[in-house]
A and B are shown apart, each in its own frame.
Chain A
Amino acid sequence: MSRVGFLRLLVVGGFVLAIELLCRTGAVSPRVLIAPSDMAVRLVRLLASGKATADIVETLGNVAIALVLSVSGGFAIGAAIHAVPRLRRAIDPFLASYYALPFFAFYPLFIVLFGLGRGAIVAIGFLFGVVAMIIATLNGFDRIPRVLVRTAAVYHMGPFAAALRIKLPSAIPYLFTGIKLAIAYCFIGVIAAEFIMASSGLGYSISYAFNNFDNGTMYALMLFVIVLVTIVNALFYSYERRLLRRWGR
């Protein structure tokens, strides 16, 4: 392992160990935080009991649907906006301040549109993820070498063929940034929506456990979410690096 990787492991390990010590020595009350080792044990037990399986499957399904929709939708919308420079200039400040809006408040609207159930949750995840992807697509398209755009013109490619066969591959590094952000935002949107207003799913289970003073279950599920998101990010990160290296960038 490289020196940097070792140091990184040391920092994370030291942090977990410090929390463990604080909890085990009683400096932090178990009513506030339980020891990380205890969280892991409870998580294994919870997973083995199968009580959380339905919620996990539901949340992951919601995130997956929201992610696919926001990545494909974000690319299509981004490409369309980029094709109309006037629209693009006008819409830029709105895109830039988009994440300051509290979309959760639109939940009642989504319930009317999509009915109770996963539709409304997926819609919030989508709204969170899609704009990161639109912004990344615009950034990527901005940096396409002009010679490639001219090549597309020389070959008489239509706008769709040019977008898919020239612009998409050329903008890939920026699109990856967008996908990474979309993964993070879809998780955040779905889990936050479940947390605040759903009646099933991982986010709901955490808030339910919190309201019932069930710290064991709550911290086990929190650990699950944190580990899951970290693993998904790490996998995607290493996939991206391998792909970019193969393409010699």
Chain B
Amino acid sequence: MKRAFDTALLVIAGLVAWELMHLAAPFALTSPADTAVKAWSMLTSTAFWPHAAETGKAFLYALLLAIGGGLAIGLGLGLNRTSAEVAEPILISVYSLPKVTLYPLILLIFGLGVPAKIAFGTLHGVIPIAIFAMNAVRNLAPVHFKTARVLRLSRSQTLLTVVIPGALPEIVSGLRIGFSLTLLGVLIGEMFASQRGLGFLIMNAIGLHDVPTIMATIVLLGIVAVSASAFMLWLDHRLHHRAA
């Protein structure tokens, strides 16, 4: 309860700081109240939802691909010690590349449109999920594998009943980062080259210097991202707690 109170205090402090910044530079920043009004009018307008649906669709597919691909890569590489050692520095250097530089390549392969956004979002999300899953499998206690062997479990049984449950807490941590980065990837893709979606909406508003729309879009995205992330953080804590 005290914690919820502190969080509320922090949100209020943030709103006050925002309002003060608005008073200091009224043209650069809309006030919190005006942004809320604008966000509400966007939510109730018909022009907003096709963009939100476009981004949501691209994000959903990208996230599914990133989770599937990341888990397959991470679990596959993690089960073998040599392959994990070979792959880790490679995965980490790919993770730290500014992937925006690769966006032209993706546009040239997929053309403009939803597939390019999905590919770009997947590219952002897949690596952290793979890294976390791989390290989780590597750090599983050897006694678990020995038990699986003693019980003569098949490979798929070992994977489903030993590896995945054992690695689950770390996998969820990876999913949380993968979720954020996939969203970032989809939005950057839309901001650079797109005619639809929330990223386009922001870019368009930047071009028109329509500050209320920029702020309202960011706030709406922020609310969605922060609540999804808070949910996964809660899940993360619970799973880590259970494991300990």
Sample (24) of A-B pairs whose CB atoms are under 8 Å apart: A3-B82, A4-B86, A33-B105, A33-B109, A86-B6, A90-B9, A94-B226, A97-B225, A97-B230, A100-B180, A100-B225, A101-B221, A104-B191, A107-B206, A108-B209, A112-B28, A181-B96, A183-B96, A191-B98, A191-B100, A191-B101, A195-B101, A222-B104, A229-B93
Q: Which residues of chain B come closer than 8 Å to A184, judged between CB atoms? A: 95-97
A1 is an interface residue with CB less than 8 A from chain B: no
| Contact size range, B | 35 or more
- A108-B90 CB under 8 A given contacts A90-B9, A195-B101: no
A93 with B179: in contact, given A222-B105, A229-B97, A229-B98 (CB under 8 Å)? no
Considering only residues 207-240 of chain B, those with a C-beta below 8 Å from chain A are 209, 211, 214, 217-218, 221-222, 225-226, 228-230, 233
Give the dominant DSSP class at A's interface: helix
- Within 8 Å of chain B (Cβ to Cβ): is A80? no
Listed in ascending order, the chain A residues whose CB lies under 8 Å from chain B are 3-4, 7-8, 11-12, 31-33, 86-87, 89-94, 96-97, 99-102, 104-109, 112-113, 180-181, 183-184, 187-188, 191-192, 195-197, 203, 206-207, 210, 218, 221-222, 225-226, 229-230, 233-234, 237
CB-defined contacts of A180 to chain B, threshold 8 Å: 96
With a CB–CB cut-off of 8 A, which chain A residues contact B100?
Answer: 188, 191-192, 195-196, 203
Bound Cα distance from A230 to B90, whole angstroms: 10
Query: Is B101's CB under 8 angstroms from A203's CB?
Result: yes
CA distance A87 to B90 in the complex (A): 37
- In the complex, the answer to whether B6 meets A101 with C-beta atoms within 8 Å is no
Given contacts A12-B90, A93-B229, A112-B28, contact A100 B104 (CB under 8 A): no
User: Of all chain B residues, which has the CB nearest A232?
Assistant: B96
Q: Which of B101, B214, B222 has the most chain A CB atoms inside 10 A of its CB?
A: B101
Contact in complex: A210, B107 (CB < 8 Å)? yes
Contact (Cβ within 8 A) B229 A105: no
B23 interface residue (CB < 8 Å to A): no
* CB-contact partner of A108 in B87, B99, B211, under 8 A: B211
